[in-house]
Amino acid sequence: MSRRRNQFALCLFLLLFAAFFCFAADETKAVSLSSLPAAAQKTIQSHLGGDKLGEIERVEEDGEVSFDVTITKGETEHSLSVGEDGTLLSLEVE
């Protein structure tokens, strides 16, 4: 009985441990434009022009950091993803 209980406890521990690392691997955090690296700021500002800057989220996924940005241009919302080095990773118009 004790051996079976120990096996169950070990399996439960491993399951919780794996779940923790799956969720901890990808982190998202709201940040300000001024807190971004200069290259990322420059790329965002070049797409911003005189339009309205929405939320900026810092995304860390598999050790890579990028920034997801929302820009409102009139009635249209643009979402872009920018790398720390200023590389435009994606651009979507909604």
In a domain, 45, yes or no: yes
Paired residues of 92 in beta bridges: 79
Report the range out of 8-12, 19-23, 46-50 with the highest average pLDDT: 46-50
Is residue 87 included in any domain, yes or no? yes
Domain count, the chain: 1
| Residue 21 located in a structural domain | no
CA atoms within 13 A on the CB side of 39: 8
- β-pairing, 64-73 with 76-83? antiparallel
Quick one: pLDDT band at residue 16, thresholds 50, 70, 90? low
Asked whether residue 30 is assigned to any structural domain, the reply reads yes
Cβ atoms of residues 56 and 39 within 8 Å? no
pLDDT given at position 17: 63
Render pLDDT for 27-55 as a digit per residue (tens, 0 to 9): 788 899 999 999 999 999 999 988 999 99
Q: What is the CATH classification number for the domain harbouring 31?
A: 3.10.450.360
Report if residue 74 sits inside a domain: yes
Question: How do 64-73 and 52-61 pair as beta strands?
Answer: antiparallel
* pLDDT tens readout for residues 55-74: 999 999 888 999 999 999 88
What is the residue-averaged pLDDT of the chain? 86
57 near 29, Cβ under 8 Å?
yes
